[in-house]
Structure 1
Amino acid sequence: MTELCPAGTPLPPDAPATGIRSGSASAARGVRSAGPVMTELRLSAFASHRGTVLPIGPLTLFTGASGSGKSTALRAYEALARLGAGDPLAEVFPDPAAYVPEQVGPDAQGRRGFRIGCTADGPAGPVRLDLAVQAEPTLRIVGERLTGGGETLLTTALRDPGRSTVQAAWHTAGVVPVTRAPLPDDVLGTALLPLRVAGTTEGQLRVLAAAEQMVVALRSVFACTPQPQRMRAPVPSGEDRLRRGCDNLAAVLERTHTQCGQRHARLVAAAAAGCAGTVTGLGVERLRDGTVRAVVEREDGHRTPVQRLGDGELRYLALALVLLTGPGVLAMEAAGEVPSAMQTLTVLADGLDRDLDGRQRRELLALAASIGAAGHLRLVGTVAEEAAAAARGTAGATVVDLCP
């Protein structure tokens, strides 16, 4: 089976990209990021994708017809991010068979799987990570390759299917040119290297620099899926790290209102541009039971509870809040050993334009492009063609059309 890499064989090179039309592919040039960032996502054999290579810039939007694989591409990105954070393979892919290309049959040993990869750029230069995952009969990583500077820095291969380990080899460039050791087959080997490599030779230092760059880029991700129906209810005060569904929006607004006046002022300005009626402020009200609810402040002193806002207004407000905050406000485990000023957060938003009208889409894209240009935050999302058409006229946006 060529897609999965039989045990003991190296990962094959990626096939050329197919079925993609990219607009403004050079939009990322000239934007200096604060820290390591993803510049490419590769779906060599993943669900409906074969040999797909996707550029990733400060503002990247996947579009295309239904079934073209927009959400699947974002799912692969999030999966890599979770693996980079050390999550076990079974938690990242609870239904792994769903990502095996349908046309791929089992090999002589009954194995089927998928392949994904990415490139992270930063101080160590472009660093590539490629993974071969066996989905059946047992879920495991059967091949991993980390490359940078024209060198293979880490490779893993499944030598003994009866053991839950893979044989790893990483570059040393010392008295012993390569170090070999077993690693677990259910976690990303690259994420384990900082714990296994001593860093006493020039080669080991290159391996560490590449691995740490890849891990920081992968971990600096927040997947956001605002749920308007859950954002309307009051929430306990103090839960001030925004969850993926943004249902604790009110508690986070209470925090930003008191702790970060400048960002809160920008959020109010965004709300005024994207919400109906006149908006002069955003605040919270404490209810008798100790919970808080978010309110929109009007010019005449009237306050509108957010539960009365439309779905589009709530999604727009939540996404604007995410873009205007950082890892310290979002429910994510960023690379804590790296100062926040040296990190670049990437927001993943499937269905970014869902329920938004034309004005809200334009305002949100302009906000994302403006913040992305500063180098501290990037947005990767999926949109319908109407929103993609508007984004093509937005400076700094990369629109990738996935063809079925």
Structure 2
Amino acid sequence: MATDISPDSDHDLRPTVTELRLSAFRAHRAVTLPLTSLTLLAGASGSGKTSVLQAYEALGRLAAGDVLPDVFPDPALCVPEWAGGDGQGRRGFRLGCTVDGPTGAVRLDLAVQVEPALRIVGERLSCAGRTLFSTALRDPRRSRVEGAWYTSGRSTVTRAALPDDRLGTSLLPLRVAGKTDGQLHVLAAAEQTVLGLRSAFACDPQPRGMRRPVAVGEGRLWQGCDNLAEVLHRTRRQCAQRHARLAAAVRAGCAGEITGLHVEELADGTVRALLARGEGRATPVGRLGDGELRYLALALVLLTGPGVLAVDQVTEVPDAYQSLTVLADGLDRCLDRRQARELVRLAAEMAGRGHVRLVGAVADAGFAQGVEGVTVVDLEP
């Protein structure tokens, strides 16, 4: 596990999602959202903040190779209420993104049919105004779409049948030969898009689960952060520098005197986390309030990385070419203004080092005013 938290000079080479497009997704219509290294989605309940994070996570899972029914177990909820069916009774939703990187700004746009059958009916990968790859549904009776990608050379386009329940872009490295300049361009754009999307960690810490002692396992943090104590047990042993930085963050965001952050091994083999109070005193984290527990968990997420968080890394690609994006729903939930500000300061610090990107949903982003590097996107209900 890496312990260095110095600035990363290679982070500008990492593919990053810089724009999310919700053409027709849940309550969103023709919405384009800019994303920076630290983006706060602000708005009242019902403004669609959670939907934005769900769209991002869904694209990331599709890029990682997950099939459509697993990514959208209840796809009807993604169809806007105002979206009527066509003459054949077909309804669905549309979303997309832009991924910046060495290849340039690559756009991915996706059309998903929900009724009468769940399938991807259209996909388009483009760069600099040129369509590099596209799919289209030719025969509704078959679970296939026709894919076409730019080739150059004697034949400008190559066509092949692709499954309609997977993101075609993620399959291109297995289909494109890479022999011509055109094919190499297609491969570079597809790989940049997949890398930029799939390293996402969606988290929403649940205090109830974090209060219980947990068994020691592989030490990878779950999305609900239920195994917080187990991960702290690992970071304390393997990442002394980051663990010390986490303890400093906890001192800034939790009440009372805090001299350290420890983990106690119990007789039954489980572990529990403790806040050291000095003079031999300690408070089990199970006694903390919901806000303090959420603050602790989110600080841990921001200070660790893909090796600790339960995300699907691309093992064959060096870390210097991969970015981690944290998707935090209810980032300020249960937090007071001081805690929320300390947390966003920590996020800005880690984003500035190239360590992590953050897209967080908040009710009111006023607490972040004056923090350098924060982009606030206001959503209207």
TM over 0.5: yes
Q: Give the corresponding residue for 2:207.
A: 228
Deviation at residue 198 of structure 1 after TM alignment: 1.1
CA distance in 2, matches of 1:308, 1:341: 39
Question: What is the distance in 1 between the residues matched to 2:176 and 2:278?
Answer: 60
Q: Which residue matches 2:30? A: 51
Could you say which residue in structure 2 is the equivalent of 1:390? 367
SS of 2:112's equivalent in the other structure is: strand
Does structure 2 conserve the Cα–Cα contact (< 8 Å) formed by 1:33 and 1:376?
no
Following the alignment from structure 2 to structure 1, what is the Cα–Cα distance between the partners of residues 301 and 317? 21
User: Aligned partner of 1:399: which letter?
Assistant: V
- In structure 2, the residue corresponding to 1:318 is in which secondary structure? helix
CA contact (8 A) 1:33 1:344 kept: no
Distance 1:370 1:188 in 2: 34
Correspondence for 1:161 among 115, 140, 150: 140
SS of 2:306's partner is coil
Structure 1 gaps of 5+ residues are: 1-30
Q: Structure 1 residue aligned with 2:122, among 129, 138, 143?
A: 143
SS of match in other structure, 1:78: helix
Q: CA deviation at 1:106?
A: 1.0
The match for 2:191 is: 212
Matching residue within 51, 64, 72 for 1:72: 51
Q: Which residue of 1 aligns with 2:300?
A: 321
TM-score with structure 2 length normalisation? 0.96
1:366-395 CA distances to partner (integer Å, 9 max, x unpaired)?
Answer: 00011111223100010012xx01223211
Match of 2:100 among 121, 128, 146: 121
> How many angstroms apart in 2 are the aligned matches of 1:67 and 1:148?
34
User: What's the secondary structure of 2:278's corresponding residue?
Assistant: coil
Q: Give yes or no for contact 1:166–1:184 (8 Å, CA) kept in 2.
A: yes
Change (3 A) 1:34 1:355: farther
Determine the C-alpha separation between the residues in 2 that align with 1:121 and 1:392: 27
Equivalent residue letter for 1:336? T
In the alignment, structure 2 segments of 5+ residues that lack a partner are 1-9
Aligned runs of 1:254-403 on 2, under 5 Å? 254-385=233-364, 388-403=365-380
Indicate the SS of the match to 1:338: coil
Partner of 1:102: 81
Q: Distance in 1 between matches of 2:189 and 2:219?
A: 34
Q: Deviations over 1:306-356 (max 9, x none)?
A: 111111111000000000000000111112111123211000001000000
The whole-number CA distance in structure 2 between the counterparts of 1:265 and 1:60 is: 26
User: Aligned residue for 1:17?
Assistant: none
1:174 shift after superposition = 1.9
CA deviation profile, 1:211-253 (whole Å, cap 9, x unmatched):
0000001111000110100001011113300000101111111
**What residue identity is the alignment partner of 2:308?**
V
In the alignment, the residues of structure 2 paired with residue 268 and residue 280 of structure 1 have an alpha-carbon distance, to the nearest angstrom, of 8
Between the aligned partners of 2:40 and 2:234, the Cα distance in structure 1 is 30
CA change 1:33–1:391 in 2 (3 A) is: farther
TM-score by length of 1: 0.90
Write the deviation string for residues 256-293 of structure 1: whole angstroms up to 9, x where unpaired: 00111111110000011011111111111111111111
Q: Which residue is 2:7 aligned to?
A: none
- Counterpart CA distance in 2 for 1:54 and 1:164 is 32
RMSD, matched Cα:
1.1
Which residue of structure 1 lines up, in the alignment, with residue 223 of structure 2?
Answer: 244
Identity of aligned residues (%): 67
Q: What is the rounded CA distance, in whole Å, between the counterparts of 1:283 and 1:341 in structure 2? A: 31
Q: In the TM superposition, what is the alpha-carbon distance from 1:47 to its structure 2 partner? A: 1.1
Quote how far apart the aligned CAs of 1:65 are. Answer: 2.0
Q: Contact 1:235–1:251 (CA<8 Å) still a contact in 2?
A: yes
Aligned-partner Cα distance in 2 for 1:53–1:94: 25
Partner of 1:92: 71
For the residues of structure 1 that align with 2:216 and 2:276, how far apart are their CA atoms?
Answer: 19
